[in-house]
Amino acid sequence: MPIEAALIIGGVLALAGTIVSYILLIPEKRKANLNKFFTFVRNVFTFKHLLLESILRALYVFSTFFVIFAGFFMLFSGYRRYSWYGGGFESAALEGLLTMVLGPIAVRLAYEAMMLFVLLVKNTIAINTKLESKPGKESETPNVPENIVFCQFCGTKYNANIGGCPNNCAPQPQYPQHPPQQ
C-alpha cells in the first residue's frame, strides 16, 4: 500500500472516530451511562486525568535507577583511559562515584522543574471544580440596583439598600426635660 493511501485512510478513520467520540463519549449527559473503560477514555479526551504526570513519574524512576546503576558499573568497571594531561592512565572510578551521588540530584531537579507546570495545571483544575460545585453561587450576589443617597445631616454618600448613614448621624430623639427634684 502506498504511503499516501495509508495517510488518507488514517485521516478518514480519525475523522470518523472524532465524530463518534463527540456524539457518544464527550457530552455530559452521556457520562452516567458509560462503563469503566469508556469513562477512562472520556476522561482522557476531556483532560480530567493528565497522562503527562504518570509518564514523567515513570521516566523519573527510570532515569534515577539508570544514573545509579551506570555510576556503580563505572565505579567498578576497571576501565582505564589514557590521560593526555597527566601523561598516564587513570580510572573512571571517580566519575562513577560522582555519577552515583550527583546524578540522582540532577535528575530530581530536572523532573521537579517539569512537574511544576503539571501540578500548577492540576491545582487550577481542582480549584475550578470546587468553584463550579459551590452551592448557592447565584444567590450570593443579588441583582438589586444601587440606591445612592446623601445623608441629610452630614452629606455623606451611601447605599440606602445596605443601611443608613455610615457616620450614624441620624437625629437623636428629644426627650422632655424632667423638672428638678426638690
pLDDT in tens, the chain (182 residues): 888 989 999 999 999 999 988 888 888 887 888 888 888 888 888 877 778 888 999 999 999 999 999 998 888 876 666 666 665 556 678 888 889 999 999 999 999 999 999 889 888 888 988 888 776 555 455 566 677 777 877 878 877 777 777 777 765 555 555 666 65
User: Which sign, positive or negative, has the C-alpha torsion 88, 93, 94, 96?
Assistant: positive
Q: How far apart are CA 38 and CA 35, in angstroms?
A: 6
Amino acid identity of 81? R
Q: pLDDT value at position 60?
A: 95
Which pLDDT score, from 0 to 100, does residue 1 have? 80
Helix 93-132 and helix 51-75, axial crossing angle in degrees, nearest 10: 170
In tens, the pLDDT along 78-125 reads: 666 666 666 555 667 888 888 999 999 999 999 999 999 988 988 888
Distances (CA, A) of 154 to 33, 133, 170: 65, 45, 9
